[in-house]
């Protein structure tokens, strides 16, 4: 395969990682909401943990974006 084409295909494949991270972020907020509706009194105290989970899940998607950008512009 032409190296440039291979780079672009790889960058496109990296988008799978971004989609996976979307599933992860959705899971974090969905599970939080599920728990929060069962016990609304405890929900406010857990908001910090919610955002820690969100940040951890989101970072992996952002890394996939970085991989795509490196493939397109740097490599």
Q: Is the Cα dihedral 52, 38, 40, 22 positive or negative?
A: positive
Minimal distance, residue 54 CB to other proteins, in Å? 7
From CA 41, how far away is CA 44, in angstroms rounded?
7
Minimal distance, residue 55 CB to other proteins, in Å? 5
Dihedral through CA 55, CA 56, CA 58, CA 64, nearest 10? 140
User: Using the rule CB under 8 A, is 75 a contact of other proteins?
Assistant: no
Contact call for residues 19 and 55 (beta carbons, < 8 A) = no
For the chain, strand residue ranges (E) read none
The residue (of 36 and 65) whose beta carbon lies closer to other proteins is 65
Interacting positions 13-72 with other proteins (CB under 8 A): 48, 51-52, 54-55, 58-59, 62-63, 65-66, 69, 72
Task: Give residues in contact with other proteins (CB under 8 A).
Answer: 8, 48, 51-52, 54-55, 58-59, 62-63, 65-66, 69, 72-73
């Amino acid at each position: 395969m032409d190296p440039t084409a291979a780079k672009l295909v790889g960058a496109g494949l990296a988008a799978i990682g971004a989609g996976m991270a979307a599933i992860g972020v959705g899971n974090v907020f969905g599970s939080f909401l599920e728990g929060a509706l069962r016990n609304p009194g405890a929900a406010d105290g857990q908001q910090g943990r919610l955002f820690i989970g969100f940040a951890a899940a989101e970072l992996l998607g952002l890394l996939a974006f970085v991989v795509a950008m490196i493939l397109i512009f740097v490599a």
